[in-house]
Structure 1
């Protein structure tokens, strides 16, 4: 291949990647809320549920720790987003889509994050958590912090963890 042909192919490849990324960003940005949620679209709710299931899978201890989906992490996350300014809520929504789409590039399996089995989703989130790229690692940790607050404040999770308190002052 001569230099001219190489440059043509490189230019076409760059244009294709740019168009693909632009299309995905437009797709992420313009999603309307689901009828069941204030902010999250159906796709974003599915991504959030798959992240919650991977972060908080529950266990069979005594008493068993509930799963993140069972305690309503998705619904609570949607309510949290509804209380944020638009820019912050959109940033967290974009992060959901980034996690979902980046799974395709992680191992080139062409399967998005929310359609993978739990074990693969857990491994993918560990990659985000321990990423050498500070922006990626920090963004994921911010999302994890928000979802953890939604999970850890549920009465069933507190009871399973052996934490018994009431906000009314009496125990």
Structure 2
């Protein structure tokens, strides 16, 4: 509680000096109701969020995305304790990941999973992967930090608050 109060005291004064920029909208629910109490405080400007897609030129500049620490391969199930992580999966733009994604699309949707595409060369390849699992949010991003922290060497893999697994159960 003291940490939360400290964070509010440190960051609240800055709230009036910077706008909110949404980098990506991966679905979910609107967070605006959570800010109603803050927005009603006297002396603070009303917050507004503009959701925009990144321009194509910006998307092109981010490719290729690679994670040198990881390659396609078999992942051994391993228990973890990551409370609050939800369901996160890592895939690449390779035959093994594509097959895994197509086979598990329904279960990933049921789990409300989100994915990182940790090895991909182009925006068209990202779209091709998204087409295999419509409605499942995926974004290209390096998985290097996750690979180091979780000692991952291969993908595709599902990361949940209870462990790593190649199997996706709804």
* RCO comparison, higher one (Cα < 8 Å, 6+): 2
Higher-Rg member (1/2): 1
* Common fold by TM > 0.5: no
More helix by share: 1
Q: Normalising to structure 1: TM-score of the pair? A: 0.28
More strand by share: 2
